[in-house]
Amino acid sequence: MTSAAGTEADIDRRNVSDAVGVVVLGACAVWPLISAAGRDARPEGVLLAVLAVAAGYAAGRMSGALLPVAAPCVGALAGLGLAVAMPHVAPGPQFATPLGHAGAVAALLALATGSACCAAWATPVPALRFGLRMLAVGIAVAGAVMGSMPGCAASAAVLLCSLAAGRMRHRGPGIAGLALTAALVTGTVWAVAANVLPAGLTSALEGPLTEHRVRLWRDAVHLTRQNISLGVGPGRFGELSGTASEALLPDGKPHSAPLQQAAEQGLAGALLLVTAFCWLLYALWRSPRSTPVALTAGAALTALAAIAAVGDALSFTTVSVGAGLLAGLATARPWAAGVPQS
């Protein structure tokens, strides 16, 4: 009776998680339309990103329920293939790391590593688990070979977090740690953009970040302060940012997801982006999958959040689909599964 009651309670919690997800994604789709109303704005890109995440999440839930090992393995191989091909097939200018395509490549490598590690934790066969972990190592090495050092570092971090997750009995502290990590990265980006850090620290960060990107971020903060409620409108940053218009290869983006949301959709838009990430972590906390699987997926999504905070990864549909797919795989209940693990 206790086991049945526990399982029923877990299903109820998952239903709450799914309902919250519907509300959050719905709000993320509606708010750009509100922000764009009455202005020459272009909310289509935001709507496409929301649709990509939702479609990926639904596909991950279905495939993860049917093929809990094979589906993430295929996802890892697909992510690696897309990361290798992206610099050659994606349109637009090639920006230096981690701007532009380089940021998307790093994000895909991190998500692919997370998928491989999730597949490794999902299989009970020791030899297959070892092989899948070697695939994850290979993805990190591929990042170094491709010259994507952020991708290599992100993949290595996801792999190490996955191995550490195997020693954790409960996922709550791990999920909290991932949320804190994402908050620290995002907070640092805002501090640099708002120019509130000590001069020495700001100068040290501007080196790897590049002066051009920091100027883009400060333009985003300036536009946010001028239009704090609704923003300047989706897709209008490039028109109103002096730094963006002066670039040799302009793409009209500030190369930071939270700053772009704030500048184009106001603080409400930025809060919706944060809420969407928190919902994914909450869904992983309530996932029926094992703790290592949930924390591994959380580590990969946190790596993506960090990359998106300092780059342009979320502007690529493949990255948005991959994030939703991994989250869906890690929250799916396999048909043959029993009572969820802690």
pLDDT tens-place string over residues 175-199: 999 999 999 999 999 999 998 988 8
pLDDT, residue 130, reads: 97
Query: Tens digits of per-residue pLDDT, 227-283?
Result: 999 999 998 888 887 777 676 555 678 889 999 999 999 999 999 999 999 999 999
Gap between the Cα atoms of 330 and 295, Å rounded? 9
Distance CA 34, CA 140 (A): 41
pLDDT, one tens digit for every residue, the chain (342 residues): 344 544 565 566 667 888 999 999 999 999 999 999 888 888 999 999 999 999 999 999 999 999 999 999 999 999 999 999 876 545 444 444 444 578 899 999 999 999 999 999 999 999 999 999 999 999 999 999 998 899 999 999 999 999 999 999 899 999 999 999 999 999 999 999 998 988 888 888 888 888 888 999 999 999 999 999 999 999 888 888 777 767 655 567 888 999 999 999 999 999 999 999 999 999 999 999 999 999 999 999 999 999 999 988 998 999 999 999 999 999 998 886 543 444
3-state SS string over the chain? CHHHHHHHHHHHHHHHHHHHHHHHHHHHHHHHHHHHCCCCCCCHHHHHHHHHHHHHHHHHHHHHHHCCCHHHHHHHHHHHHHHHHHHHHCCCCCCCCCCHHHHHHHHHHHHHHHHHHHHHHHCCCHHHHHHHHHHHHHHHHHHHHHCCHHHHHHHHHHHHHHHHHCCCCCCHHHHHHHHHHHHHHHHHHHHHHHCCCCHHHHHHHHHHHCHHHHHHHHHHHHHHHHCCCCCCCCCCHHHHCHHHHHCCCCCCCCCCHHHHHHHHHHHHHHHHHHHHHHHHHHHHHCCCCCHHHHHHHHHHHHHHHHHHHHCCHHHCHHHHHHHHHHHHHHHCCCCCCCCCCC
Alpha-carbon distance 301 to 142, whole Å? Answer: 20
- Preceding peptide of 98 cis, ω within 30°: yes
Q: What is the pLDDT at residue 93?
A: 46
Distance CA(305)–CA(181), nearest Å, equals: 10
Residue boundaries of the structural domains of the chain: 2-331
Dihedral sign for Cα atoms in the order 196, 199, 204, 207: positive
**Six token digits for residue 156:** 């290595």
Residue 92, both tokens: 């637009």
Instruction: For the chain, give the number of residues.
Output: 342
Cut 0.95: pTM above it: no
Measure the CA–CA gap between 154 and 110, rounded to whole angstroms: 6
What pLDDT is recorded for position 14? 65
Give residue 270's pLDDT. Answer: 96
Q: Which residues contact 187 (CB under 8 A, 6 or more apart)?
A: none
